[in-house]
Chain A
Amino acid sequence: MMSALRHLPLSTIGLFVFACLIMPAGGLVYADDSPQIALSRMSHSFRELDYHGTFSFQRGSSTESFRIAHSVIDGEEFERLEYLDGEKREIVRRGHHLNCIHPGHKLLRFYQQQQAQLGSSANAGVGSFYEFAVNGTGRVAGREVVNLQIIPKDTHRFEHHLSLDKETGLLLRTELIGPGKTVLERFQFVEITIGEPLAGEQFVDAGASYQAYHTEPSVTANVAGNTVGDGWTVQWMPTGFTSTVANVKFVTGDIATFTDGLTVFSVFLESDVDLNLVQRGLEGRAQKGATTAYTRLLVLADRPHRITVVGEIPAQTAQQIAQSVRLVSSR
């Protein structure tokens, strides 16, 4: 009976889930092979497993190759991404603690979705904004995969096609699909080794490395001096997006990032814009694969500000978000 569940519309599953939960013995919420469980596994596996391999990244007519390595050493993640084409460069991140859970992870994880179904969580899971469908099985990088189709319920996000490793839940192939079923970008592992840890020395700076910056997932209560003062907010964004930094009332820096668990966008605000340099345009837009950058000038508090929205979202959405930025003052 459980395997038949995934063919039912999500709302039906929701009803069933609810029925399960209000029953005293209702323990199991989703079938083991349901998309929700697969996504939840994905959100754990890419952080918690040891793996290394090569993958290709396609957008438009260009294809690039990368080598990735990921190991967990004493409960901390060690990661390296090498660019195999063009100028030699790599990105390294060391010592990201597994207990450091970011808002985006939570949105994908099982218990969060369970909470969302019960309506008891402010942070509703991805299930509220996307429809899920299992789309058969296949083979990627020599491994058995389950194909997942994730279709947004509104026009503010792109469609995702994911291929997840059957055994571990690791993401082996992903496509972002734009309007008209165009493939905007595609990641695909060519070969991958799972379960063979690499030593810490493998992640030592090779001289051409960029150390990825880590943003704390939340500000602690006693540091939250962020409740009074000047800052800014984004007044409009599609439903389901939450700040990647929890517990902040408004933004005091120049960047704010929002996630719905699968889709992420960032908003940048610059004050003191040199008007001589902005003659060229009040608006600008860039597009590369699934990534949109939209920039415009807004006069806020009688001074020109430059607002830029960058993210894997449609251009129209980025524009709407940019226009809704407002300054706040709560002195």
Chain B
Amino acid sequence: MSDQLRESISALMDGEADELELRRIMSTDNDESVRSTWARYHLVREVMQDNDTGAYRHLDISSQVSMAIGHNNGRLSEEKIDQLESVVAQKVSDDQQKTSVWWRPMAGFAVAASVAMAVIVGVQTLETNATSELASGFPVASKAPMTSRVYPVAGASMQASGGASNAVRYQSSELPGDIAASRAAADLEARHRLERYMLRHTERAVLNNGQGMISFARVASFDKK
């Protein structure tokens, strides 16, 4: 990917892309690398700032949106929106079914509440753009900052529940093995930390929830002392 293209993506991310830059990004042959760069930049920004928008980073609704647009002359029917929402709802509910797993990395979680809304926002924005393009006869580049948040991000399909693994996958392909190993260590560390926290929380809960010792049943394991 050219530096120029990278700069354009960066500008788009900051909502500062002009029409030319937008066209450059849209017309690139290397669709997949644009997506992954976009995702990586967001990841970097999220690490550098404390930024909640990361919740959308892994969320790719591009294929659904293009499919919907393709099938419906640029207009989305109520029915289609309902359908998209139900797909999301299903993914989210699948996610919630897996609640027996104690400690899993999460990114789909934050999305659960907001994903349906993101779909609607994205769809409406694209629709607005399409309409004004038709009306004025040329693309409206100034709309770029608005559309940017629903631009293609990663993967081939909408990933509400599998978001975490998806986001991690980018990194893994680029990072050396020792970092992968340190991640495994971090996972183990996280699990142990959580067990300690769970015990300390429960020690205080049994004194304050009106139910007493039985609440200790929630703590699966602890160090004897």
User: A47 near B: Cβ within 8 Å?
Assistant: yes
A219 to nearest B CB, angstroms? 15
**A4 to B203 CA separation, bound complex (whole angstroms):** 40
Total A-B Cβ pairs within 8 A = 190
When the two chains form their complex, are residues A284 and B210 in contact, meaning their CB atoms are under 8 A apart?
no
Given known contacts A257-B201, A257-B204, A281 and B211 CB-to-CB distance under 8 angstroms: no
Instruction: Give the contact stretch, choosing among A113-121, A137-145, A204-212, A229-237.
Output: A204-212
For B213, give its contact among A43, A68, A255, A289 (CB under 8 Å).
Answer: A68
- Judge whether A286 and B224 touch: CB under 8 Å: no
Which A residues are CB-close (under 8 A) to B110? Answer: 283, 319
**How many residues of chain B are within 8 Å of chain A by beta carbon?**
57
Chain A residues lying within 8 Å of B168, measured Cβ to Cβ, are 280-281
**A264 with B104: CB separation less than 8 A:** no
Q: Are A281 and B224 in touch, CB under 8 angstroms?
A: no
A266 interfacial by beta-carbon distance below 8 Å: yes
Give the interface size bracket for A toward B.
35 or more
Q: In the complex, which residue of chain B has the Cβ closest to the Cβ of A60?
A: B100
Specify which chain A residues have a CB less than 8 angstroms from the CB of B216 in the assembled complex.
Answer: 81, 91, 212
Query: What string of 1s and 0s marks CB contacts (under 8 Å) between A252-265 and chain B?
Result: 00010101011111
Across-interface contacts of B179 in A (CB, < 8 A): 279
> Which secondary structure characterizes the binding site on chain B?
helix
Q: B20 near A: Cβ within 8 Å?
A: no
Q: Tell whether A214 is near chain B: CB-to-CB under 8 Å.
A: yes
In the assembled complex, the CB of A66 is this many whole angstroms from the nearest CB of chain B, namely: 6
Chain A residues with Cβ below 8 Å from B213 are 68, 70, 79, 81, 91, 93
Q: Does A104 contact B (CB under 8 A)?
A: yes
Q: What residue of chain A has the Cβ atom nearest to residue B47's Cβ?
A: A282
Please encode chain B, from 181 to 225, with 1 for each CB lying within 8 Å of some chain A CB and 0 for all others.
Answer: 011011101100110011011011111111111101110111111
Interface pairs (22), CB distance under 8 Å: A42-B210, A57-B214, A81-B214, A105-B207, A108-B210, A215-B204, A217-B207, A244-B208, A257-B204, A261-B208, A262-B210, A263-B209, A276-B182, A279-B182, A282-B54, A283-B105, A283-B109, A284-B104, A288-B102, A310-B201, A315-B109, A316-B112
